[in-house]
Amino acid sequence: MPHIIVEYTDNIKSEADIPDLLKKLNGVLISRSHIFPTGGIRSRAIELHDYCIADGSEDDAFVHVTFKIGSGRSEADKKETCEALFDVIKAHFAELFEKRYLALSLDLVEFGEGGTYKHNNIHSRFKKPYLS
């Protein structure tokens, strides 16, 4: 953990640059590696083909980001991180937001330690001292 899941409507794919968005969102978390270990970060995107927005009469679009974390972070850290992530999302889509109907949202999901199972050797790569 943390995991970032970006769901976006297929009618913005050509302008959305989702790979760049994922890198930017990871960057927010990497800059907070004292809160979110870099080796646990996972981000992915799901392009949506079947959806209906509002009354379905326009070519509306949306991007919804789910930010999943394990328990144990302070309320202040969660709030500040979510605000930073949402600022990145809004900035990334600012130009597109000005050109079309677009809904942006972010949701935080926090898991308790019970019911969360992990097996990960990626963390060890980030704990090793860097060689120059």
Which residues are part of the catalytic machinery? 2
**Coil, strand or helix at 22:** helix
Contacts of 62 (CB under 8 A, 6+ apart): 7, 8, 9, 51, 53, 102, 103, 104, 105
Tell which residue, 76, 87, 88, has the closest CA to residue 35.
76
Contacts of 130 (CB under 8 A, 6+ apart): none
Q: What CA–CA distance (Å, rounded) separates 21 from 103? A: 16
Q: What CA–CA distance (Å, rounded) separates 25 from 84? A: 9
Q: What CA–CA distance (Å, rounded) separates 4 from 26? A: 8
